[in-house]
Amino acid sequence: MATSSTATASLHLLLPASRRRLLIPRAAHSDSTPPPATGVDRRRFIAHTAAAAAVAPLVLPHWTPAARADDAPALSEWERVFLPIDPGVVLLDIAFVPDDPSHGFLLGTRQTILETKDGGNTWFPRSIPSAEDEDFNYRFNSVSFKGKEGWIIGKPAILLHTSDAGESWERIPLSAQLPGNMVYIKATGEQSAEMVTDEGAIYVTSNRGYNWKAAVQETVSATLNRTVSSGISGASYYTGTFNTVNRSPDGRYVAVSSRGNFYLTWEPGQVRAVARRIQNMGWRADGGLWLLVRGGGLFLSKGTGITEDFEEVQVQSRGFGILDVGYRSQDEAWAAGGSGVLLKTTNGGKSWVRDKAADNIAANLYSVKFLDDSRGFVLGNDGVLLRYLG
């Protein structure tokens, strides 16, 4: 595998900125009716009361049964799509063929590959013989299309390629020297793609994945380990791998360490690691950054591009962590998180309103993806998939 010194690395430190009771009516008499006496008077009173009961309807207090799960209100702008998979599957990525918006693929844990040909209304399992190894239980992490060309990566290391919009898939052999596990892939052109590993290595190919060239001088992990070995105080703070990676349309990357203690930014010519307690990061539609901290905090960068200057935005997350943000347009975006948290903004993220109907979803929502302004999906655990209705 070839390497090239197309980027340099440097480190920058940023200090962390009801019970309801059922009432049973009791028999009563009006104040104008004297209480019954004994003997004949009592018998007459009982006979009179029985006759009245025969002609008067029995009135009970109004009671409404508790709502069942099936009676839960529908999501205002989303619908749940039920999938033919095991409940324990975590959905990880989704992509559609640009030349055929109705044709897409959905990935997840436990060797899950689903296919749709009606825009995501219904899904069916897709069998790819070269990806069905009895000795491995693949976790398919990322899928991407450019024209009819598509890529799928997974863990343990597996790379699949198609040149006919997913009608057939070919398994591409990978070098055993590949540093780390592949976590993200982006189709960039004919027979071309960018691929990122959890050690911060970024590679590019232009021949269907048979050869890869390093887009950074060395992996971020290698840079950090070398810095630690040099004896610089505090450098070990930056050790670890990356579990979330987001790419901007113009090719800049932001990645969050698996320990949640720093994030990495990469653009041609520069790599930076910044210390901060963090859950996830990504790109806004206007080119700025959003940042999530553990516990439900949401921050937006000031201005656009890569920066270390963020300001917090108040959100109603009910105490659950927000896990991802997806922008439908520069003004409208959705945030998703633990225990069915679903939030919406219509002013670019300055204020957020919770979609309370989503509170009935018993799942963590991990990923929000908008393919364009009319197509969007939310991916969660236990096979939960939400489709945007608008």
* Two structure tokens written together for 44: 């007459």
For the chain, give percent helix, strand, coil, nearest 5. 10, 40, 50
**Structural domains in the chain, sorted by start:** 87-239 (2.130.10.10)
Strand, coil or helix: what is 355? coil
Q: Which residues pair with 292 in a beta bridge?
A: 280, 298
Pairing assessment for the beta strands 182-189 and 9-12 based on DSSP bridges:
unpaired
Can you give the pLDDT at residue 328?
97
* Two structure tokens written together for 54: 């025969």
Name the pTM for this structure: 0.77
Please say whether the beta carbons of 57 and 25 come within 8 A: no
187 exposure class (CB count in 10 Å sphere: 0-12, 13-18, 19+): buried
Q: Dihedral sign, CA of 123, 125, 127, 128?
A: positive
Peptide bond between residue 156 and the one before it cis (omega within 30 degrees of 0) = yes
Can you give the pLDDT at residue 349?
94
Please say whether the beta carbons of 287 and 249 come within 8 A: no
* Two structure tokens written together for 51: 């006759």
* Amino acid symbol at 64: T
Can you give the pLDDT at residue 45?
42
Can you give the pLDDT at residue 178?
82
CA dihedral 355, 356, 362, 366 (to 10 degrees): 20
Q: Which residues pair with 300 in a beta bridge?
A: 290, 311
Pairing assessment for the beta strands 124-125 and 310-313 based on DSSP bridges:
unpaired
Phi and psi based region of residue 208 (left: phi greater than 0; alpha: psi -120 to 50; beta: remaining)? left
Cα separations (Å) of 334 from 74, 139, 329, 343, 379? 17, 26, 10, 5, 13
Q: Residue 342: phi, psi to the nearest 5?
A: -140, 120
Edge-to-edge strand list for the sheet holding 385-388: 78-81, 385-388, 375-380, 365-372
113 vs 109: CA distance, rounded Å? 9
DSSP state of 193: E
Residue 345: Cβ within 10 Å count = 21
Residue 136: Cβ within 10 Å count = 14
Task: Single out the residue of 334, 263, 322 nearest to residue 292, CA to CA.
Answer: 322
CA dihedral 100, 377, 106, 156 (to 10 degrees): 130
Cα separations (Å) of 344 from 50, 77, 120, 351? 61, 10, 22, 8
Per-residue pLDDT of the chain (390 residues; tens, 9 = 90+): 443 334 433 333 333 333 333 333 333 333 333 444 444 444 444 444 444 444 344 333 333 333 333 444 455 799 999 999 998 999 999 999 999 999 999 999 999 999 999 999 999 999 999 898 767 899 999 999 999 999 999 999 999 999 999 999 999 999 888 888 999 999 999 999 999 998 888 999 999 999 999 887 666 666 656 554 444 444 455 566 888 899 999 999 999 988 888 888 888 767 777 777 889 999 999 999 999 988 788 999 998 888 889 999 988 777 778 999 999 999 999 999 988 899 999 999 999 998 887 778 889 999 999 999 999 999 999 999 999 998
Task: Single out the residue of 274, 344, 340 nearest to residue 315, CA to CA.
Answer: 344
377 vs 77: CA distance, rounded Å? 11
Cα separations (Å) of 242 from 161, 180, 280, 306, 338? 24, 10, 11, 18, 21
